[in-house]
Amino acid sequence: MRLTREAVLHGAFTILDEYGLGDLTMRRLANQLGVQPGGLYWHFANKQTLLAAMATSIAESATHASASLPEPDGWRAELEAISGRFRAALLQHRDGAELVAAGYALHPGSGEPLESMIKILQRTGLGVDAAQAAAAALTHFVLGHSTEVQSHDQLRRAGALPTDEDRLPDPDDSFNLGLGIFLDGLAVQLDGGAARPTSRQSSASR
């Protein structure tokens, strides 16, 4: 069977989900596709390019995934929604957060869902630089939080957890708390702290 760029990408995701990012090698991928290692380089210039394509695929699924859903109103609800979808997209694949974080390092300040966040923030009246910085900060939180959760999963799989003494707080709770802090702080910067309707008992949206 003829190899396609999409088939390579699909095979890469299969290995990622089953064995993790550390075991995703070009040789292993070639082997799984029934092809010689060198054959992959006709479809992707190098491994970095392949990983970047995977990262983009994951990150963009956070934006156009629910294009038909009713968009929430207000910057706070919009940022809450896009952050939640971003997080869900990262957690969809094993080591997804680490993969996307590595992708951001190659193209800093660009890509989705960062650019959507910037637009939402600019609509609040924030300047370009401030919107960029705030969106980056929110992105760093979501990526960092998801990376921590997934590497914790990884450690459990390997059976290398220190007695479960320092147990992490519930991931959903800590995510919502961190997101709440950020959005409250943003509200302060925007209009002097008149926001936050009832964010106390708000759980994972949808």
- Residue 163, class by beta-carbon neighbours within 10 Å (0-12 exposed, 13-18 middle, 19+ buried)? exposed
CB of 28 to a second copy, least distance (A): 21
* Chosen from a second copy, DNA, none, partner binding at 185 (C-beta under 5 to 8 Å by type): a second copy
DSSP 97: H
Report how far Cα 172 is from the mean position of its chain's Cα atoms.
15
CB of 131 to a second copy, least distance (A): 10
Query: Is 78 or 98 the residue whose CB approaches DNA more closely?
Result: 98
39 binds DNA (CB under 7 A): yes
Report the residue number, 61 or 139, with the smaller CB distance to a second copy. 139
> Is 35 among the residues that bind DNA (CB under 7 A)?
yes
- What residue 86 binds from DNA, a second copy, none (CB within 5 to 8 A, per partner kind)? none
d(CA 174, CA 168): 9
* 112 interacts with a second copy by CB under 8 A: no
Q: What is the rounded distance in angstroms from the CA atom of residue 186 to the CA atom of residue 193?
A: 8
Closest CA to 130 of 185, 91, 83: 185
| Integer Cα distance of 21 and 148 in angstroms | 15
Q: Quick one: which segment of 28-36, 91-99, 176-184, 193-201 binds DNA (CB under 7 A)?
A: 28-36
| Contact pattern from residue 152 through residue 191 relative to a second copy, giving x for each residue in contact according to CB under 8 A and a dash for the rest | x-xx------x---x-xxx--xx--xx-xxxxxxxxxx--
CA distance linking residue 17 with residue 25, whole number of Å: 13
Q: Is 32 in the site for DNA (CB under 7 A)?
A: no
Q: Examine residue 36 and tell whether it contacts DNA (CB under 7 A).
A: yes
Report if residue 38 touches DNA, rule: CB under 7 A: yes
Distance CA 3, CA 165 (A): 48
CB burial string 166-198: b at 16+ within 10 A, e below: eeeeebeeebbebbeebbeebbeebeeeebeee
CB 180 within 8 A of CB 145: no
Contact set with a second copy (CB under 8 A): 98, 101, 104-110, 129-130, 132-134, 136-137, 139-141, 143-145, 147-148, 151-152, 154-155, 162, 166, 168-170, 173-174, 177-178, 180-189, 193, 196
Contact set with DNA (CB under 7 A): 2-3, 24-28, 30, 34-39, 41-43, 45-48
